[in-house]
């Protein structure tokens, strides 16, 4: 249970995270998120679906893999089909036929990635719809209104997102604006009892700006915090330091969602740094290029070396693809125009991420997380001299020494 509350505390946001175990050495935690559509074990990886569907996998298949929370994308859904239609379909859950939890983002991140369409002002983000060319304004109020209509279990504030490679006054402007937009989102949120609004810490790669943002945002009464503005083009050295700084200043009894992460190594390291929730398009996107994720990295199954390899992608993996199919068959299928190959890989890659998180969690609960990390790194990289230096540093900073 959460630590004894400060008697003077005015906070009334629900404590949705129940901590089950903490690593004695690092900042890793295992917990349970109690959300309207069920409990979610943390740390958790949340697969990403754009336009209300996981590319290459049905809601039913995702359920069968054990997924209990995934992402819906407000930018695309808000434009097409639009919140009115989704409300008619009983919200995003009804529209997708997904009975577990959903997290929607604000639509802000797409502004950065599709920046040629957009213009940021204090009001909001003005952009041109790629579907019909109409100009719209995505304000904090509008973003929350759309997400209220979607009915997702966790909704994200609209933040002023700046690429992590940008420097100068724009970063500071965006940080302060994100705080103001957080307040506007909180004020506009009509369903705090049904939907959990998360704040997003910004500040780029500047420690002072980030610290300021942390100090201000943690004063606000929200059920959870996301660490944003990272996982862009920044160096890994800067990346981990900003994550560590953020987790050191975020309350322990609320979930920490690190947005846009990702690769297996990043997940493991960032769990050690104290993050609970992750999302990334990487596993599904890389599947569509014929790449299968395995504990030693990845297999580019289109390559000739797999032509006569009759073993499954991963003999330890319990996913339907590995239960039924060999690398050789998938290789042949990948060289055809039958998209089924991509679906097989999508299923496997999501299963890989979910199984990884499960294993991480079990090791925390069983008080052997540091050994798990050492084992993981060894399997992934082999020789300690091949370990990425940033990962070694990051882990050392929280008391886990490698090799």
Partner 1 sequence: MKLSLIKVGNGCRLGKIKNLGKTRDHTMDIPGCLLYTKTGSAPHLTHHTLHNIHRLPAMAQLTLSSLAEHHEVLTEYKEGVGKFIGMPESLLYCSLHDPVSPCPAGYVTNKSVSVWGAGGRVEMTASKFMAIQQALQPDWFQCLSDGEASCAEVTSIKRARKSVDRSLLFLDSCLQLQEKSEVLQKSLIIGVIEGGDVMEERLRSARETAKRPVGGFLLDGFQGNLMATEIGLHLLSSVTAELPEDKPRLICGVSRPDEVLECVERGVDLFESFFPYQVTERGCALTFSFDFQPNPEETLWQQNGTQEEIKYLDQTEKIKTTDCTQEMTSFEINLKEKNQ
Active site residues: 105, 279
User: Which contiguous run of DSSP H or E holds residue 20?
Assistant: strand 17-22
On the 0-12 / 13-18 / 19+ scale of CB atoms within 10 A, 121 is exposed
Return the number of the residue (328 or 362) whose C-beta is nearest partner 1: 328
Q: Is 270 annotated as a binding residue?
A: no
Ranges of H-type helices in 117-168: 140-150
Helix axis angle for 264-272 and 340-365, nearest 10°, is 20
Binding track over 63-92 against partner 1, x by CB under 8 A: -x----------------------------
Binding track over 275-314 against partner 1, x by CB under 8 A: --------------------------------xx-x----
| Count of CB atoms situated within 10 Å of the CB of 340 | 12
Q: Is 229 annotated as a binding residue?
A: yes
User: Which contiguous run of DSSP H or E holds residue 197?
Assistant: strand 196-201
The Cα–Cα gap between 250 and 217 comes to 9
Return the number of the residue (9 or 323) whose C-beta is nearest partner 1: 323
Distances in Å between the Cα of 225 and the Cα atoms of 197, 198, 255 are: 9, 5, 6
Which listed residue (118, 136, 326, 378) binds partner 1 by CB under 8 A? 326
Distances in Å between the Cα of 8 and the Cα atoms of 11, 12, 90, 118 are: 9, 12, 40, 44
Binding track over 2-41 against partner 1, x by CB under 8 A: ----------------------------------------
Q: Is 189 annotated as a binding residue?
A: no
User: Which contiguous run of DSSP H or E holds residue 265?
Assistant: helix 264-272
Q: Is 317 annotated as a binding residue?
A: yes
Closest CB 205 distance from partner 1, rounded Å: 42
Binding footprint of partner 1, residue count (CB under 8 A): 26
Binding stretches for partner 1 (CB under 8 A)? 58, 60-61, 64, 307-308, 310, 320-321, 324-326, 328-329, 332-333, 335-341, 343-344, 347
Annotated binding site for substrate: 105-109, 159, 202, 229
């Amino acid at each position: 249970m959460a630590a004894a509350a400060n008697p003077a505390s005015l906070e009334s946001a629900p404590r949705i995270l129940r901590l089950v175990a903490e690593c004695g050495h690092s900042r890793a935690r295992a917990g349970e998120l109690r959300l309207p559509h069920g409990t979610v074990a943390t740390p958790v990886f949340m697969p990403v679906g754009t336009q209300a569907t996981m590319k290459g996998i049905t809601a039913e298949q995702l359920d069968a893999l054990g997924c209990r929370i995934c992402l819906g994308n407000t930018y695309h859904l808000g434009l097409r089909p639009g919140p009115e239609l989704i409300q008619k379909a009983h919200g995003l859950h009804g529209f997708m036929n997904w009975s577990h939890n959903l997290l929607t983002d604000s639509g802000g991140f797409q502004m950065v990635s599709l920046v040629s369409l957009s213009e940021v002002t204090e009001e909001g983000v003005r952009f041109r719809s790629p579907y019909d060319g109409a100009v719209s304004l995505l304000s904090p109020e509008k973003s929350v209104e759309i997400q209220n209509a979607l009915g997702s279990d966790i909704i994200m504030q609209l933040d002023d997102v700046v690429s992590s490679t940008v420097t100068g006054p724009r970063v500071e402007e965006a940080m302060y604006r994100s705080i103001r937009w957080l307040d506007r989102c909180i004020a506009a949120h009509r369903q705090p009892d049904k939907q959990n609004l998360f704040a997003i810490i910004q500040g780029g790669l500047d420690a002072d700006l980030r610290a300021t943002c942390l100090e201000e945002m943690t004063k606000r009464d929200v059920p959870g915090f996301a660490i944003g503005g990272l996982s862009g083009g920044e160096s890994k050295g800067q990346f981990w330091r900003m994550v560590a700084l953020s987790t050191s200043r975020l309350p322990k009894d609320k979930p920490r969602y690190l947005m846009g992460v990702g690769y297996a190594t990043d997940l493991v390291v960032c769990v050690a740094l104290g993050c609970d929730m992750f999302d990334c398009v990487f596993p599904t996107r890389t599947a569509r290029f014929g790449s299968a994720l395995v504990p030693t990295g990845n297999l580019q199954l289109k390559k000739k070396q797999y032509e006569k390899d009759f073993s499954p992608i991963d003999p330890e993996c319990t996913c339907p693809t590995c239960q039924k199919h060999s690398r050789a068959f998938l290789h042949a299928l990948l060289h055809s125009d039958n998209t089924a190959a991509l679906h097989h890989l999508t299923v496997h890659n999501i299963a890989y991420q979910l199984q990884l998180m499960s294993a991480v969690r079990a090791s925390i609960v069983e008080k052997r997380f540091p050994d798990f990390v050492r084992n993981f790194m060894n399997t992934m990289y082999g020789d300690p001299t091949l370990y990425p230096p940033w990962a070694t540093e990051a882990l050392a900073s929280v008391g886990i020494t490698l090799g």
